[in-house]
Amino acid sequence: MKSLFSSLILLLLSFNQVFAQNTGGGTNNENTGGGSNPITIPNPLDPTNQGNVTIATLLSRVTDFLVLIAVPLLTLAILYAAFQMITARGNEEQFKLGKKVLLYAVIGFAILLVSEGLIKLIESILVGNNPTP
């Protein structure tokens, strides 16, 4: 087992040197580091490469992603709460648990939806003009 582990480490280290080498080739539009072309790293937050990424844009994209994740989670939480409430069969504690789960799920989703508006409001206050969507 020890020799297998050391062989695996040695194999991974040998590939590290191969992948780190720069050939200097490539197409005309590709900066590969060979010659006098500088290596540029594109901004993943600005797919149009216009250079107008602000903190508000970043927060807006984060909240859009969180809404995308939160919708299925909200659905699952509502189903779980409904299951708890239906299967309570007179058990007050289980019914209260279902109500609490439902309440917290809806409150959390409402906070997430309001956050987008808060970002636009804060941006308009700080910048002083109408923010772009």
76 or 55, which is more confident? 76
In a domain, 107, yes or no: yes
- Based on the domain organization, do 37 and 65 belong to the same domain? no
The share of the chain scoring above pLDDT 90, in percent, equals 33
Six-digit token string for 82:
């409904």
Residue 7 lies in a domain: yes
Q: Which domain holds residue 78?
A: 55-127
CA 24/CA 124 separation, integer angstroms: 47
Q: Rounded to whole angstroms, how far apart are CA atoms 81 and 106?
A: 11
> What pLDDT band is residue 127 in, cutting at 50, 70 and 90?
confident
Residue 110 — very low, low, confident or very high, per pLDDT cuts 50/70/90? very high
| CB neighbour class for 81 (10 Å; exposed up to 12, middle 13-18, buried from 19) | buried
Check if the beta carbon of residue 88 is closer than 8 Å to that of residue 71: no
**Within a domain: residue 47?**
no
Task: Check pLDDT > 80 for residue 16.
Answer: no
Separation of alpha carbons 57 and 116, rounded Å = 11
CB 12 within 8 A of CB 1: no
In a domain, 2, yes or no: yes
For position 17, what pLDDT does the model report? Answer: 47
Burial class (CB in 10 A: 0-12, 13-18, 19+), 74: middle
pTM of the predicted model, to two decimals? 0.56
Residue 50 covered by a domain = no
pLDDT digits (tens, 9 = 90+) for 81-107: 999 999 999 899 999 999 999 999 999
- Round to whole Å and give the CA distance between 132 and 52: 11
